[in-house]
Structure 1
Amino acid sequence: MDAQKHICLVAGAMTNGGIRRVLLVLAKVFLARGHRVDLVLTNHAELTLELPDGLNVVRLGTRTRKSLPHAVRYLSENRPDAVISGRVYTDLLFLAAKLLSRQKHCRLIWTFHTEQTMELAHQSVPMKLLMRCAYRLSPLTDVCVAVSKGVARDLMRYVPKAARIEVIYNPVAPLGATPALCPDHPFWLQKDVPIMLSVGRLVPQKDHALLLRVFAELRAQRPLKLFICGDGPLRGALEILAVKTGYAQDICFAGHLPNLEPYMTNADVFVSTSRWEGFGLAIAEALAAGCPVVATDCPSGPAEILDHGRLGHLVPLGDKDGLIQAISETINAPKAASHGPETLSAYDPDRVADAYLDLMERFSKQ
């Protein structure tokens, strides 16, 4: 067993999304190995998620911009060996807290989960300033972790050469004990036509408007249903667009679902229409569930996960006709057997946890 460490995972507001799923998978592995793990939140939002046994939830008690005194106190009193953070505001918060608390032994690991160039282009002015501030200060942290090689290459454009960048893919939790469980929803309980599945927050990045246009053209050609998992600020506008397609009765906006596995296991095709990513966690989860994948070849992540088209269809960004053709071919083809464990070994939670623990050990000796 690894030498016991005290690891702090900073979740910020703990909103739904890929970063949250990544942190909880890591927490479960670290705890199973006997490490002490804190999950630090920056608000009082009620947690409705199932948390791993032994996970210590720490609330700093206020919004992030007012959390600095609480973060300093947390580091001074708890003295964690490492802090892993994945959002720019929590990165800067704990960098400042470390400097003020003088906890020199604490390793700071900033994780970058999206393509920075695209993210910068779509952020508000205050957020752009925060991001550029983080880039300039990145050499003061111990290491910056990019969740794909594409994110690492892009990140190098913004951080000083003195910043240390490592690539560690996100962990993908293994299938549960009942992967064949049927979703409790009429689309599946009365399944008589193929089902397209999409997973992602309803935000411009995921381009659900393109997804709906693609679905409408396919639905005009054949019986088909679309099941969308996720929530976000664009839900109202997308529901209106769904009505305008004329096929709203065949489209379900399911909102956030805590367990995606039954849907991925039983869907006929998983479709990602993202304009940009960092990794594409839902794509990897779909592969793990044995669901065929069609994805836009956006920067960065999908091409790496799909091995440049060997493990699924990659379609040029914004190519509606290409998406229609790839989805049709996937639905018409016999469902292939699930990929072997070696295909997804880079995302094995134990392997990913080993990589983070190795970082902590290496930088603790410097």
Structure 2
Amino acid sequence: MRILTFLHSFEPGGVERVALRLVCRWRDQGIDAPLFLGRGDGAMGAELGRDLDPHVPRGPGFSVAGFETLWMIMTLPGFIRRTRPDAMFCAGNSYAVVAVAMKLLLGRRCPPVLAKISNDLERRDMVWPVRTAYRLWLRIQGRFIDHFVAMAPGLEREIAALVRPGAGAISIIPDPALSLDQIDRLRAVRRKRAGKGRWFVAIGRLARQKNFGLMLDAFARAAGPDDRLLIFGEGPERGRLAARSRRLGIAGRLCFMGHVPDPALRIGQADAFLLSSDYEGVPAVVLEALAVGLPVIATECSAAMRSLLGDGALGRLVPAGDLAAFARVLADAPGLQHAAASLAQARRFTLEAAAPAYLDSFARIAARPTEAFLVACRQPIPSTMTSPL
């Protein structure tokens, strides 16, 4: 079986990191798993892509950074025709437009597509006209994409209600954010720290979705003079966030650590892990924090968050975007009361468990002729939809 994965680049991102680890795991198991990239650069290339030998289409003579999606739509059909994969892996929500475009451009010659739903589908952060259009886009995906993966129990209901794929077209495969060996290494880094104050840590791309501005505001409002905040990650919002920290008067207590390989290995002395996102799927960084043994303070940015945090046993949840609530919880950061439970939760989301489960799903959809394109052609797309408000 040949499984084709397509990604924008090696730029750091949770979706891309998980996809690259799956490709490596499948190849270790003897699966033919080609990798297609819109462009070949990015910090994870040296970290995870050394032996992957991705196919990168010859560029148009200038950088395609910023419009990799369009470039992939233009160049991926030819690669599919040449390599004839048995199935394709759509690694996250942002890649669904490429998957649907392949179905339209290739028709019945397009291999079946399995798509992982990597982000919240409700998207309450959107204004209602945009949210209505987004829900229409989800319905279109349900017509064209063959199979969907929910990354945690409970998320399949969201997919069924908003994407509405065909019967039997949803699997639940816990997100392979960790490996058993990685969990052992992460648990080993937990240790006490001498000195005053508390250390708060966060990991994530410095992008608008992550709403690090909310985290900085809450820290400025509730943290003590000896408290520190360390943020691991890089992204387009760094300059704006640095300026914000100076306006808030916390620049001396805030450290931007940049992109580092395996940042979770460096948070073992922290007192709590922070997540301030507006929306997420199953945040891999939360699972890493649980593997380390840190309590979590997070926004309720996903339908999976309550179950991830054991209904409050492993951390505290606040409404997304609620500065006052985030600051209140940060001021009285909880200690982790159930270390064994955090370890057990982390072990549910491993590469060792997920990789064969994905292969089973690929085998099922590759064994039958794809029906999604034909169904989509037969059924009209609804012209009106009920407002989500």
Q: What TM-score do you get using the length of structure 1 for normalisation?
A: 0.82
- Aligned in 2, Cα 1:151/1:365: closer, same or farther, shift over 3 Å? same
Whole-angstrom CA distance in 2 between matches of 1:86 and 1:358: 16
Secondary structure in structure 2 of the residue aligned to 1:13: coil
Matches within 5 A, 1:145-164: 145-149=149-153, 151-162=155-166, 164=169
Whole-angstrom CA distance in 2 between matches of 1:340 and 1:236: 34
Gaps of 5+ in 1: 183-187
Equivalent residue, structure 2, for 1:185: none
Equivalent residue, structure 1, for 2:176: 171
What code does the residue aligned with 1:210 have? L
Whole-angstrom CA distance in 2 between matches of 1:69 and 1:214: 44
- Aligned in 2, Cα 1:301/1:22: closer, same or farther, shift over 3 Å? same
The Cα shift of 1:286 comes to 0.8
Equivalent residue, structure 2, for 1:194: 198
The Cα shift of 1:340 comes to 6.2
The Cα shift of 1:45 comes to 2.7
- CA offset digits 1:123-159 (Å, max 9, x no partner): 997x997884463143332202232455443344443
The Cα shift of 1:197 comes to 0.3
Q: Of 270, 273, 284, which residue of structure 2 is paired with 1:270?
A: 273
Q: Of 20, 29, 37, which residue of structure 1 is paired with 2:16?
A: 20
Equivalent residue, structure 2, for 1:118: 123
Across the aligned residues of Structure 1 and Structure 2, the Cα RMSD in angstroms comes to 3.5
The Cα shift of 1:283 comes to 0.7
Q: Of 305, 309, 314, which residue of structure 2 is paired with 1:311?
A: 314
Larger relative contact order, structure 1 or 2 (CA cutoff 8 Å, min sep 6): 2
Does structure 1 retain, via aligned residues, the 8 Å contact 2:177–2:287? yes
Say whether 1:358 aligns with 2:355.
no
Equivalent residue, structure 1, for 2:387: none
Over the matched positions of the two proteins, sequence identity in percent amounts to 25
What code does the residue aligned with 1:362 have? R
Equivalent residue, structure 1, for 2:247: 244
Whole-angstrom CA distance in 2 between matches of 1:325 and 1:238: 21
The Cα shift of 1:325 comes to 4.3
Whole-angstrom CA distance in 2 between matches of 1:119 and 1:14: 29
The Cα shift of 1:319 comes to 4.2
Does structure 2 retain, via aligned residues, the 8 Å contact 1:169–1:347? yes
Gaps of 5+ in 2: 60-67, 369-389
- CA offset digits 1:14-36 (Å, max 9, x no partner): 43211011112212321221212
Whole-angstrom CA distance in 1 between matches of 2:97 and 2:282: 22
Secondary structure in structure 2 of the residue aligned to 1:59: coil
Secondary structure in structure 2 of the residue aligned to 1:257: coil
Number of matched residues?
Answer: 355
Equivalent residue, structure 2, for 1:297: 300
The Cα shift of 1:279 comes to 1.3
Whole-angstrom CA distance in 2 between matches of 1:128 and 1:120: 12
Does structure 1 retain, via aligned residues, the 8 Å contact 2:10–2:49? no
The Cα shift of 1:327 comes to 3.4
Matches within 5 A, 1:331-346: 333=335, 337=339, 339=341, 341-346=343-348
